[in-house]
Structure 1
């Protein structure tokens, strides 16, 4: 990645931590799902008018020309024909849906944003009429403002010049809401060409009010490349136009991040999600037998580990495993009260497993879903000890192995503390036997640090620096 892209990721993550991020999605975000862009949407209509759509720059004007000649019904039907078919969210939609982003704005009519959020069990409050702004869906996780309408009401979609001219009067509350978000949130514009008259109108007024004190926003563009154009002349023209647009966007404090390929956008978003998730650590383990250590030393170690991780600004997710979870959580809570103003819920996700389900099949299925939910919120998983009593005998904890397999499936970075024995030792042996399956082999420092977690220590507290070193290396990947 370029230095500019790395810097953007750092700043984006910082704003994400503060709950300041908003997404503005244009047609380009949906196009890879199979939906047509504006030009292709209007092509058959332009053909009827004997216009060459490839020669037209004012696409809103083309829609208006068709309305003038044929009325609204055919335009609405064309919109339904092209967009009403349900399609699956793209990888970019899926990544965004997993991030703690609560505010989405879009000029798209499709339902990909709300579907991607619902797919990860988020409650979505969708707004595309004036009346929608006056009501609030209970316990909502995200708001999706569809400022140009929704495909289910294509007759009211903003499409033509008439629609755009009436917008500041008919939809003024949306302009007010977007203006407020542009002032208070950091926007990332994706798949947006910045040719929309409504957005230009709103941003011009925000600029007039705040002048040089506007909030910093970002957009990502694919850099013009020669292979995308039929001639050198067209390429040179597009390159000049892109440079001029980037300069013009700086007037509105929109910084442009350039990528060579569209797939680079997905890589940037994936990197953001991975780094964000790796600020949350899941502890898996259980203990009836604490050997080779004693119970008091293990509890003291776990308490200190929880406290140290919170001090280093990590978050904790735990199912509170038997014999180890309580001490770990206790230390984490102490860390929150000492270093983060006592906002426990911001740093701890405590999920004790539901024990009293008599039916074994139902209990196993409930625990499986529960594990996916708890582990899925984290980016790094620590595996410690892992034993239980079964028929009077101490055996390896199969639940810890299940959590290891789920964590690997969900893409978490794995930290088996081999020297703690039992299931953790078995898992450590497996990852060291197949390093390339679990880690990037080129990261020599990380593999060495994982290897050292198998070395015997006299006291468990000696593991603190080793585990923190592994986690810090993982969080920088």
Structure 2
């Protein structure tokens, strides 16, 4: 990562945590999924007009020429032929869908954004007509403004010069809505070339209203590469043009992040997701027996750990395991009331396991789904103790192992506290015997800190600093 990319990630994460982020998706995001870009969309229409689409820069004008000569029906059919076919969302779509981003704007007609959000179980409110703005879908998790229309209504999609000229009048509510979001939210523009007349119109007015007090926005561009152009003069011209565009976007407080390849965008988004998730910690554990420790000391330790993590601005997710979860959550709640104005829901995800399911198969299925949901919201998992009573005997808790396996599968950073005994000790032994399978073994500082979690301690409170060291190192990976 370059220094500029690192700075962007940190600033974007800060806005994400404050629920201030919006995404603006351009044609580039859909092209990555297999849809054609504007030039290819219009190629057969331009051919009918005896125009070489590769020599045309005003693509909106080409669409208008075709409308003038042949009417709207063939344009609508071309949209349907090229875009109505369902495609799978890209990894970039999926990463964004997993993040708590509630506002999306797009000039694309396809359904990739809504499909990726729905696959994450989110309720999506899609807007592409004026009347849509007047109603709200209940319990929505995200709202998508398709400012140029939807493929299901290709006949009303914004594509010709007529459509663009009428937009400020016929779609004024969208201009008002986007202007408001540009003022109140931090946008990340992806797959967008900033050649759209509507967006230019809106951003120009926001700039006129607020001048130098505009909100900071970001876009990601792939920098020009010689291999992408037929000759050196064309490449050099593209470099100059890109540089001029980057400077021009600063007028609208849009800062450009350059990447060497499109795959780097995915890496940046992955880094954002991983870092964001690692601000939430899942505690796995249970205790019918407290081993060599005194129960009161363990509960005091867990209470202190929960409180300190909240004070350090981490969030907590827990299924409230037997003998473990209550003390941990109590400390976390105390931390929220002491440092964060009592906004419990912003820092705690508490979901006790449903107990009264008689059918064992149904219970196992329900608990598996429950574990995936709770663990999936976190980025770091701590495993402490882990035992239960079976036929009057204390045994290691298989539920803790299941949670370890789920956490590992979902990509969480794993912290088994070996010296706490029982299942946590088994898991610690396993990971320490095969470090490269679970961690970046070249991170010697982290490896040393993990090893210390297996060293015996007299009192559990001596583990607090050790665990915090590992957590902090993992949150910065």
Q: If the length of structure 1 is used for normalisation, what is the TM-score?
A: 1.00
Deviations 1:99-123 (A, max 9, x none): 1111000000000001111111111
Asked whether 1:177 is paired with 2:177, we answer: yes
- Which runs of 5 or more structure 2 residues have no equivalent in the other structure? none
Indicate the residue corresponding to 1:100 in structure 2.
Answer: 100
Match of 1:408 in 2: 408
Give the aligned partner of residue 315 of structure 1.
315
Partner of 1:68: 68
Matched, 1:208 2:198: no
Residues 432-461 of structure 1: per-residue CA shift (max 9 Å, x gap): 011000000111111111111000000000
CA distance in 2: counterparts of 1:50 and 1:248, whole angstroms: 35
Q: In the TM superposition, what are the counterparts of 1:65-464 in structure 2 within 5 Å?
A: 65-464=65-464
Root-mean-square deviation over aligned CA pairs = 0.4
SS of residue paired to 1:349: strand
CA distance in 1, matches of 2:82, 2:63: 15
Shift of 1:50: 1.0
User: What is the distance in 1 between the residues matched to 2:218 and 2:199?
Assistant: 15
1:189 aligned counterpart, secondary structure: strand
Displacement of 1:30: 1.1
Distance in 2, Cα, partners of 1:51 & 1:457 = 79
Instruction: Give 3-state SS (helix, strand or coil) of 1:282's partner.
Output: strand
Deviations along 1:318-342, whole A, 9 cap, x unmatched?
Answer: 0000000000000000000000000
- List structure 1 segments (4+ residues) > 2 angstroms apart after TM superposition: none
Q: Deviations over 1:292-311 (max 9, x none)?
A: 11111100000000000000
Gaps of 5+ in 1: none
Q: Distance in 2 between matches of 1:313 and 1:459?
A: 26
Query: Quick one: distance in 1 between partners of 2:432 and 2:30?
Result: 42
SS at match of 1:313: coil
- 1:48 corresponds in structure 2 to 48
Structure 1: how far apart are the matches of 2:20 and 2:473?
27
Measured in 1, the distance between the counterparts of 2:175 and 2:83 equals 25
Deviations 1:409-434 (A, max 9, x none): 00000000000000000000000011
Secondary structure of 2:255's counterpart equals strand
Alpha-carbon separation, structure 2, partners of 1:441 and 1:414: 13
1:353 & 1:156 partners in 2: Cα distance?
Answer: 49
SS of alignment partner, residue 104 of structure 2:
strand
Which residue does 1:8 correspond to in 2? 8
